[in-house]
Structure 1
Amino acid sequence: MAASAKRVEQLQRRVQELEEELARERGGGGQGQGQGQRARIEQMSPEVTDSNPYSRLMALKRMGIVKDYEKIRSFAVAVVGVGGVGSVTAEMLTRCGIGKLLLFDYDKVELANMNRLFFQPHQAGLSKVQAAEHTLRNINPDVQFEVHNYNITTVNNFQHFMDRISKGGLEEGKPVDLVLSCVDNFEARMAINTACNELGQIWMESGVSENAVSGHIQLVIPGESACFACAPPLVVAANIDEKTLKREGVCAASLPTTMGVVAGLLVQNVLKYLLNFGTVSFYLGYNAMQDFFPAMTMKPNPQCSDRNCRKQQEEFEKKEAANPKQEVFEQHEEIVHEDNDWGIELVSEISEEELKTASGPVPDLPEGITLAYTIPNKEESGVDGETVQESEESLEELMAKMKSI
């Protein structure tokens, strides 16, 4: 029995080696593998040359958008789901020069995936994480990659998934900086939600609707903002098995445009969060039919079904009570132009007395409130006794008088 188990393990290891070899061959199209791949760059440079892949990114610092763009190399991000959104997300982060990417997916590349971005027909049959790793390494060899080809919702794999996001950071033993959910089913989303609530791990969720014309991204900070279980969709709340909803010969629609938009919004939010610039969105939706982008912030549900979420809420409230936020009022200094070589001055043509006369009556107002404009006083007539008198003369008689004048 033991010998049989050992033999099975050896065969599985051999199969994995052959799959990796096949991935290397087919990932490069079977020819020209490694040709044109650049050498690793130890330090990002702002130098503007045709051979510098980071010059446009480092320009963000020169333009005052990001203080230290090179800091992006110190972050590790886990991407769960390397499909229509996840693969493009991983590619964008790779091109941006992220320090480390951890990719999780159990699916294989199929020709049915070719309506979306990133994967190519010759990669059909490979696991998505293997095909993605090969392509991404060729794009940017400076990025570290760690791939896992399994379903995170199974008991054993879930424990390993938690271990990797808590210890698989850029420095081994440290947690990742962010987890990105790019999965296409609620079961996997709930698994990610459960793991992140238990670990106190900040993560971002993304999704595209089944009709392919809307999507969203959501930042989840355990205890501070709503988790996926705080306001679950009906399928999750009713404990419906998603597999029972699928019908033979029917699949969800998929548009590469919507996938690309959602992936772009997700990575933009990731960069703003990691590099501390702009406003990080807690929830941002996208409706392609009306080009509508709703944004909102969702507070956590005190009665959330996830006990770890409730625990995180209690810890967050304690932190808030211990460190109350103090309002800071910024004082803006008036701009003084000291360089005035020509001695130009601005002088009002109206005196203060004339201004007061034209201001009209000022009503009683609370302290600190002033009027931007008041109704001027009515000018009194300068002619005394001037009145309009009625006349019994006809119009013809009055016109005759006018002609004689």
Structure 2
Amino acid sequence: MSTIEELKAKVEQLEAELTALKQSQPRSKIDVMSSEVVDSNPYSRLMALQRMGIVKNYENIRTFTVAVVGVGGVGSVTAEMLTRCGIGKLILFDYDTVELANMNRLFFQPHQSGLSKVKAASDTLSFINPDVQFEVHNMNITTIDNFDKFIERLNIGSLKNGRIDLVLSCVDNFEARMAINTACNELGMNWFESGVSENAVSGHVQVVLPGETACFACAPPLIVATGIDEKTLKRDGVCAASLPTTMGIVAGFLVQNTLKYLLDFGTVTKYLGYNAMQDFFPTMSLKPNPSCDDRHCQKQQKLYQEKLVSQPQRVVEVAEEVIVHEDDWGIELVSESADVKENKSVAEGLELAYTVPDDVSGAGESVATDDVSLEELMNAMKSLK
């Protein structure tokens, strides 16, 4: 063994001993979240969200149980963020081990090489925040026996031995996604799907609300439409790329929407994409497919429609008020519902970020939005009195 290799081995050994020493002396658990602003309070900056009116009851996060399926590049960072946010309980599912090839990503460390990912993750996370309860399962959820165990834990794995609050899919293969989709459709359980592309420069997060939005089987990827076996697409000796930046961004969006969903603030994005090449973030909503192959999805769609019919229809009438400024200009502010010509884009449901009035010259001359130049538009605006 060379001198360099000996030094590396010694460093890894010392890191492992230091980690073990730290974990043997964890900080004491905190029974109640405090908003007291002191350096010794690990939740003071989180509770500030409540003081500022962003979240009504941030301390409710201690009551939630979330399952993270797949503790890889996205899942490990997701679990760490939720741990630092003070989630009540995390249930981790994975069957892989930590490798040195994973060190280009965030979270895992070289001395954890060879450990199961769920064991390595729970060791690190319990040291970061001992207030969080961890339950780990080193297993492949796609096998028959393990799938039944997976459904059981989703159904009775919460802090109160009941149904958990949310499932986060951070897996990297179609088969595991379908297993999660099947389980959540059967239980009628909401879940988030996430993923990063093979070339590492794009990703997405998607909330799946059984019956209300499209499930993973409603809008299957090309691999389903063509009937190609996924295993045939994985070439020997070819490794998918991964960037800690892209994975960290996707994990951040996933946890951000998870917090909004659990703590009921802001708007949960139904589908959020990310393209790193142009920093493009497309959003959309996907409706369920009435002919979905998953019978449980069709059942959930029927239940959702029945729920909509049973809900009382709320009709809110708002009186439109015209405001006239008391000056020589006589400017009037009217509702956006006034008769205004709309410019619609080719894609259904999308609108331009701005509209150009039919008459910008003041002389009744119509200006085509496709032909008007910036100089012409500025001259026309200057001529207005």
**1:175 counterpart letter in structure 2:** R
Q: d(CA) in 2 for partners of 1:330 and 1:142?
A: 48
Instruction: After the TM superposition, list the runs of 4 or more consecutive aligned residues in structure 1 that deviate by more than 6 angstroms.
Output: 330-333
Task: Determine which of 172, 195, 198 is the counterpart of 2:183.
Answer: 195
Instruction: Give the alignment's TM-score, normalised by structure 1.
Output: 0.75
Q: Give a deviation string over 1:227-267, Cα, whole Å, max 9, x none.
A: 00001011133332222211121011000000000000000
2:143 is the alignment partner of 1:160: no
| 1:178 matched residue in structure 2 | 166
Of 86, 94, 112, the residue aligned with 1:123 is 112
Quick check: 1:45–1:58 contact (8 Å CA) kept in 2?
A: yes
CA–CA distance in 1 between the matches of 2:99 and 2:90?
Answer: 23
**2: distance between equivalents of 1:57 and 1:204?**
23
Q: Distance in 1 between matches of 2:50 and 2:159?
A: 23
Counterpart of 2:210 in structure 1 is 222
User: Residues 156 and 27 from structure 1, CA distance in 2 versus in 1: closer, same or farther, beyond 3 angstroms?
Assistant: farther
Partners of 1:274 and 1:139 lie apart in 2 by: 22
The one-letter amino acid paired with 2:181 is N
Query: Structure 1 residues 301 and 279, CA, compared in 2 at 3 Å: closer, same or farther?
Result: same
| Structure 2 counterpart of 1:76 | 65
Question: Aligned residue for 2:276?
Answer: 288
Please name the residue that 1:256 is paired with: 244
Give the direction of change, closer, same or farther, for the CA distance of 1:326–1:33 in structure 2 (3 Å limit). same
Q: Give the letter for the 2:88 counterpart.
A: G
Alignment of 1:304-343 (within 5 A): 304-328=292-316
Identity, % of aligned positions: 69
Q: Indicate yes or no: 2:221 matched with 1:233.
A: yes
Shift in Å, 1:26: 8.4
The structure with the largest alpha-carbon Rg is 1
Q: Cα deviation per residue 1:98-146 (whole Å; 9 max; x = unaligned)?
A: 0000000000000000000000000000000000000000000000110
Judged with a 3 Å threshold, the aligned counterparts in structure 2 of structure 1 residues 56 and 238 are, in CA distance, closer, same or farther, namely: same
Deviation of residue 50 (structure 1)?
Answer: 0.7
Distance (Å, rounded) in 2 between the aligned partners of 1:187 and 1:68? 38
How many Å separate the matches in 2 of 1:284 and 1:87?
A: 20
- Provide structure 1 residue ranges, at least 5 long, that are not aligned to the other structure: 1-24, 334-346, 360-367, 377-405
CA displacement, residues 283-341 of structure 1 (integer Å, 9 cap, x when unaligned):
000000000100111000001110110111011111111114424457899xxxxxxxx
What is the rounded CA distance, in whole Å, between the counterparts of 1:317 and 1:349 in structure 2?
Answer: 53
Q: Provide the C-alpha distance between the structure 2 equivalents of 1:241 and 1:369, rounded to a whole number of angstroms.
A: 54
Aligned residue number for residue 137 of structure 2? 148
- Residues 198 and 240 of structure 2 are in contact (CA less than 8 Å); yes or no, is this contact kept in structure 1? yes
Q: Which amino acid aligns with 1:170?
A: L
Per the alignment, residue 135 of structure 1 pairs with 124
Post-superposition Cα deviations, 1:148-195, rounded to whole Å, max 9, x if no partner, equal: 0000000000000000001101111x1110000000000000000000
Aligned residue identity for 2:140:
N
Retained in 1: the 8 A contact 2:203–2:274? yes
1:99 matched residue in structure 2: 88
Alignment check: 8 A CA contact 1:114 1:120 kept: yes
1:38 aligns with 2:27: yes
Report the 3-state secondary structure (helix = DSSP H, G, I; strand = E; otherwise coil) of the residue aligned with 1:269: helix
Q: Which residue of 2 aligns with 1:277?
A: 265
C-alpha distance in structure 2 between counterparts of 1:293 and 1:349, whole Å: 44
Report the equivalent of 2:201.
213
Contact kept, 8 Å, 2:70 with 2:93, in 1: the verdict is yes
Q: CA RMSD in A?
A: 2.8
Give the aligned length: 325
Whether the 8 Å CA contact 1:113–1:119 is kept in 2: the answer is yes
User: Matched residue of 2:288: which SS?
Assistant: coil
- Paired AA for residue 26 in structure 2: Q
1:57 to 46, 68, 72: 46
> Structure 2 counterpart of 1:148, which letter?
H
Residue 67 (structure 1) aligned with residue 68 (structure 2) = no
> Compared with structure 1, are the counterparts of its residues 270 and 327 closer, same or farther at alpha carbon in structure 2 (3 Å cutoff)?
farther
SS state of the match for residue 155, structure 2?
A: helix
Q: Is the 8 A contact 1:26 1:123 kept in 2?
A: no
Q: Using the alignment, how far apart are the partners of 2:198 and 2:137 within structure 1? A: 27
Q: Report the Cα distance in structure 2 between the residues aligned to 1:144 and 1:207, rounded to whole angstroms.
A: 26
Seen in structure 2, the aligned counterparts of structure 1 residues 198 and 369 have a Cα distance that, compared at 3 Å, is closer
Which residue identity lines up with residue 236 of structure 1 in the other structure?
A: V
Partner secondary structure for residue 23 of structure 2: coil
> Structure 1: which amino acid aligns with 2:290?
P
Q: Match for 1:68: what amino acid? A: N
Aligned partners of 1:210 and 1:253 also within 8 Å? yes
Deviation by residue 1:337-369 (Cα, 9 ceiling, x = unmatched)? xxxxxxxxxx9565xxx97xxx9xxxxxxxx87
Q: 1:43 to 1:369 in 2, by over 3 A?
A: same
